[in-house]
Chain A
Amino acid sequence: MADATETRKTPRAKAFDLRRQPGFAAAAWACIIFLYAPIVVLIVFSFNDNRSVVRWTEFSLRWYTEAFANEGIQKATWMSLKVAFVATALATTFATMAALATTRVARFRGQGIVFAIINQPLMIPEIVTAVATLSFFSLIKQATGWQGVGFLMLAHTVFCIPFAFLPIRARLQDMTITLEQAAADLYATPWAAFRRVTLPLMAPGILAGATLAFVVSLDDVIITLMIAGPGETTLPIYILGQIRRGITPEINAVSTLLLGLSLLLVSLTFLLGRKRSRA
């Protein structure tokens, strides 16, 4: 096969590209189709006016109206957003501070350990983190009697930090220090230089980090499943419970909405990044 294409060096062989490997393009397209086909089927059938989740009858928004009217879904959505907002705010702030301390500075002692600690949530299987955190929280709850959704928010903050840290640090690394030096030469105080020069330049990175943290928090299942108390059901946990009970078109509608939100946010981050790199 490979030799056949090589020997056919007719004048038309301008398409002969040394880098090409036979079948690789097909594999790439198959990969994309494999990744997207199930999602497309899910989205299409969420607009199907029929109890059956797979036989197409007619376009309708019926399941969306039912999902919106469902009190369980409303509550779960609200809980998801609350947790995601708090976790994102905390994680992004902490990650920004950590990025400022570790980027564009001379290597300091313990820098390796700092990176290891920040990336720790990514290195350990999520189920291990989940049950360990459950044990830890139950110990604290027993000892202090504290309750509440704060525990869940704290756990989300932990695994959101590395996701926020990466884009913020990447942005900082791309920035030269000359503008801040100029500000200092013009008698700007350190704080003024930071607020008027550094922070605006960092903003796109911070925004990207915050978006990723928000999406990661919104999508978390395993850790939330383990540590969420009664009345702290987030949307993914609600969906998981419904799937276990049986498949309904309503679930397709909610899933499509949650999926759409993540897709939208991440696409925006991507476009923002592209615009920035072109400028």
Chain B
Amino acid sequence: MADRITDTRTTRQPASDALAGARAARDSAAKRTRVFLLAPAILTIGIVGLMPLSIALVYSFLEPGTYGGVTWAFSTDAYVQFLFDRDIFDDSLTFSTSYLSIFWRSAFLAIITTIGALLIGFPTAYFIATKPPAQRNLWLFLVTLPFWTNLLIRTYAMLLIIRDEGFINITLQMIGLTSGPIEMLYTDGAVFLGLIYSFLPFMVLPLYASLEKLDFRLVEAAHDLYAGRVQVLRRVILPMARPGMIAGCILVFIPCLGAYITPELLGGGKKLMIGNMIALQFGGSRNWPFGSAAALILMAMVLIVLLIVNRSRADAEVSHG
């Protein structure tokens, strides 16, 4: 605290050798304070958050133990297993797409969920941004609140609504629109619906943040120049909301890709996503090296997406001058 306060006062005085020495001493004291203040957070996250990732990397190159865990022998089986089935009799390898298809399914579901969330989230965020400031906070609060509630319970609530004896089916039958239940639970559609439901707030918030800063005089100018509403939206509003759109898409895509609870409850185990497959390796089917490898591949996918987005963002900034 105090070092910063003295900072502003001493800088006004002419520098002399004695002062320079005092300043050096103060700077090193400031550094010590900083290290002391940062140490607990950095050490906790470093040791319990980052170190495990390197352990996972090591594990992915080991052989699985019989009852979970690992046997300390080098092996690349975990990675080979992704693409090939090993024949248990003659040890020959045949190409297999079973795991690839789980990754593909997850990526596909994450992509369509992101698009769906964008289609609902954009008009919502725009609507909130054009409300009078007094009402904006309340709307934002309503959109954010579900994020702070338990994801498991929200998914369970969704399950109550869409299952065969669920709210929608019972209501439809009571009105007489359908005679039997429409099967919604344990389908890809259910997982898709659940994912949008879970992560929609992540899309609205960054979109709102960039739309709120939008200079609506530009919209007026566009109208003055005879642009229709659709043109204004496409040529003025959407380009200026781009940073928010990118941020929202990332925030929805990443948790979707690694989703566990939603496919578990709404996909009913039949519709596996990467997250469930990884969890299975550490539970029932017990192949820790393979699970570690899958987790690392998932992380690599996330990092690649982030890198691509970062690069395209940097390019966009350059092209704007």
Complex interface: stretch among B12-20, B84-92, B94-102, B274-282: B274-282
Complex CA gap A133/B146 in Å reads 27
Q: Is there contact, CB below 8 Å, between B219 and A136?
A: no
In the complex, the 9 A-B pairs of residues with the closest C-beta atoms, listed nearest first: A125-B258, A190-B2, A27-B123, A132-B52, A101-B37, A38-B157, A136-B52, A2-B229, A28-B127
**Cβ < 8 Å to A, chain B residues 104-160:** 120-121, 123-124, 126-128, 130, 137, 139, 141-143, 145-146, 148-154, 156-160
Q: What per-residue 1/0 map shows which CB atoms of A159-200 lie under 8 Å from chain B?
A: 101000100000000000100110010000110011000100
Contacts of B8 in A (CB 8 A): 177, 181
Answer yes or no: B302 CB below 8 A from chain A CBs.
yes
Task: Write 28 A-B pairs (CB below 8 A) sorted by A numbering.
Answer: A20-B229, A35-B201, A36-B142, A42-B160, A45-B160, A54-B160, A94-B40, A100-B37, A101-B33, A101-B34, A101-B38, A102-B38, A125-B298, A127-B274, A127-B275, A128-B296, A128-B299, A158-B48, A161-B45, A181-B5, A181-B8, A190-B1, A194-B1, A219-B149, A226-B279, A239-B153, A258-B150, A259-B150
Q: What per-residue 1/0 map shows which CB atoms of A189-219 lie under 8 Å from chain B?
A: 1100110001000000000000010010011
Q: Is there contact, CB below 8 Å, between A125 and B149?
A: no
Contacts of B53 in A (CB 8 A): 124, 128, 132
Contacts of A136 in B (CB 8 A): 48, 51-52, 55
Q: Is there contact, CB below 8 Å, between B282 and A259?
A: no
Closest B residue to A197 by beta carbon equals B1
Q: Is there contact, CB below 8 Å, between B299 and A124?
A: yes
Q: What per-residue 1/0 map shows which CB atoms of A122-147 lie under 8 Å from chain B?
A: 01111111111111101100000000
Contact (A19, B219) CB under 8 Å given A101-B38, A127-B278: yes
Closest A residue to B117 by beta carbon equals A31
Answer yes or no: B265 CB below 8 A from chain A CBs.
yes
Contact (A193, B1) CB under 8 Å given A38-B197, A240-B152: yes
Answer yes or no: B189 CB below 8 A from chain A CBs.
no
**Cβ < 8 Å to B, chain A residues 74-106:** 90, 93-95, 97-98, 100-102, 104-105
Contact (A38, B161) CB under 8 Å given A21-B126, A125-B257: yes
Complex CA gap A22/B165 in Å reads 37
Chain B residues with a Cβ under 8 A of chain A: 1-6, 8, 31, 33-34, 36-38, 40-42, 44-46, 48-53, 55-56, 59, 69, 120-121, 123-124, 126-128, 130, 137, 139, 141-143, 145-146, 148-154, 156-161, 165-167, 170, 197, 200-201, 204, 216, 219-220, 223, 228-230, 233, 254-255, 257-258, 260-261, 265, 274-275, 278-279, 281-282, 288, 291-292, 295-296, 298-299, 302, 306
Closest B residue to A2 by beta carbon equals B229
Q: Is there contact, CB below 8 Å, between B130 and A221?
A: no
Contacts of A18 in B (CB 8 A): 216, 219-220, 223
- Could you say which of B51, B149, B230 contacts A39, with CB atoms under 8 Å apart? B149
Closest B residue to A56 by beta carbon equals B170
Q: Is there contact, CB below 8 Å, between B128 and A131?
A: no
Instruction: Give the A interface residue count (CB, 8 A).
Output: 104
Contacts of B151 in A (CB 8 A): 219, 221
Q: Is there contact, CB below 8 Å, between B278 and A53?
A: no
Contacts of B170 in A (CB 8 A): 54-55
Closest B residue to A271 by beta carbon equals B141
Q: Is there contact, CB below 8 Å, between A118 and B41?
A: yes
Contacts of B142 in A (CB 8 A): 32, 35-36
